[in-house]
Structure 1
Amino acid sequence: MRDNLQITGGVYLVVDPAMDRALLLSKLALALKAGIDAVQLWNNWLPEADKRSCVAAVSSLCRAYSVPLLIDNDWELLLGSPELDGVHFDAIPPNYAEIQNRVARPLLAGITCSGDLEAVRWADKNGLDYVSFCAMFPSTSAGNCAVVMPSLVREAREITTIPLFVSGGITPENILTLRKLTPFDGVAVISGIMGADDPFSKVKLYQDALNLPTHHL
């Protein structure tokens, strides 16, 4: 992991490596220019995909903006790709200590909570960098995630002080509604940004919604 990289909140962008490579990189470049805070490569690879070349290309863009790049679940890619800064788990890994030993370098780590606070307790105990809740709203990008109630995120905040992200169907408009119901530090987005014609402007809309003072909500 590059020195001093952190994930504290803001806009966390998940990119789909099954997207056309040139289109993915062009849209990612615009999103990075707008000021996103972290990038994750979703574990949705095409058959025979050259994973390492994709990691290298995406990392080259992320490094130019000092934005951390994480891999979704496929932690073994960390072994041969030093440009990766961490891993995101969709569930509690049974061998986290072994993963840390094998990677043998500092790494960022986060986990999805899909309705069970056990993942939050585990993340707090093991010093993870963030928890992401999926899904707050129905979303095709969120896959099999069950809809999470805002009350669960409130309970999580009582358990841990690590950054909490919300994901699944998040839009600049429903961020405002959600912030009235529960505290969170950032949003994780896939199609809301990568499916936009103008990712730069869309990122700015998400940032504006996150930064609006709560008394204006």
Structure 2
Amino acid sequence: MKFPRRGLYAITQPENKTINQVVKDVEAALRGGARVIQYRDKNPVNASQLASLLLEICHTYDAPLLINDSIELALTVGADGVHLGRDDGEISAARRKLGPNAIIGVSCYNDVEKARAMAVAGADYVAFGRFFPSGTKPLAAPAEIISLERAKQSITVPIVAIGGILPENGGQLLTAGADLLAVIGGVFDHEPEAAARAYQALFNQPPE
């Protein structure tokens, strides 16, 4: 499974939901056009079961499932890859455990130099953010749109933007250099299929 070059990158919102509801919501987002799903769960109850179900539904829609933070969970369920934050280990360690075909993404916050280094080290994509106020990470340090412009000049792997992104503000991030928009609440606080379609429409519009 390859990481897409463009599109909506939907991140799960499992808090206070049953496993069945999370799977139903993710399938709705995929129907709406989400190209990637990341399983993010800060208080997991049965992570292996849920991740396995999500992997099955993602592959039905030809979309990769990535696991946030946990190389071990990605290995256990056979996920397509992992997303590494600040304290989640090195790309080389993830690559050794998950194999040469795994998708490995890295959070780079607002650090273009780190993003360049991670791309050289083998990251399949780099992520910047948060760009707008975010209910999921209200205390996260802000990223600047100019960082996307700078990154686009020298980084060839896909660039993901995250943080408070709505259909109303996502277009400016795509214009600046983002290839994918990563969204949690903007998709899963609403009816996920319709919300995903609203984001996916941004990728069909001419640049601003």
TM-score, length of structure 2 as denominator length: 0.91
Matched, 1:74 2:70: yes
Matched, 1:24 2:22: yes
Deviation of 1:102 (Å): 2.6
Larger gyration radius, structure 1 or structure 2: 1
Contact 1:40 / 1:72 at 8 angstroms: preserved in 2? yes
| Equivalences, count | 207
Q: Paired residue for 1:34?
A: 32
Change beyond 3 A, Cα 1:164–1:99:
closer
Q: In structure 2, what is the Cα distance between the partners aligned to 1:19 and 1:7?
A: 30
Deviation of 1:72 (Å): 0.6
Equivalent position to 1:174, from 169, 189, 198: 169
- 1:86-124 Cα offsets, whole Å, 9 max, x none, are 000112755432332233452001111211223302221
Q: Paired residue for 1:118?
A: 113
Q: Paired residue for 2:187?
A: 193
Q: In structure 2, what is the Cα distance between the partners aligned to 1:19 and 1:118?
A: 38
Answer with 87-96 or 134-143: which moved more.
87-96
For structure 1, which runs of at least 5 residues remain unmatched after alignment?
none
Matched, 1:58 2:51: no
Equivalent position to 1:137, from 116, 132, 139: 132
Deviation of 1:135 (Å): 0.4
* Percent of aligned positions that are identical: 26
For structure 2, which runs of at least 5 residues remain unmatched after alignment?
none
Q: In structure 1, what is the Cα distance between the partners aligned to 2:49 and 2:143?
A: 35
Deviation of 1:57 (Å): 1.3
Q: Paired residue for 1:211?
A: 204
Q: In structure 2, what is the Cα distance between the partners aligned to 1:144 and 1:116?
A: 17
Answer with 131-140 or 112-121: which moved more.
112-121
Map of 1:84-103 to 2, 5 A cutoff?
84-91=79-86, 94-103=89-98
Deviation of 1:134 (Å): 1.3
TM-score, length of structure 1 as denominator length: 0.87
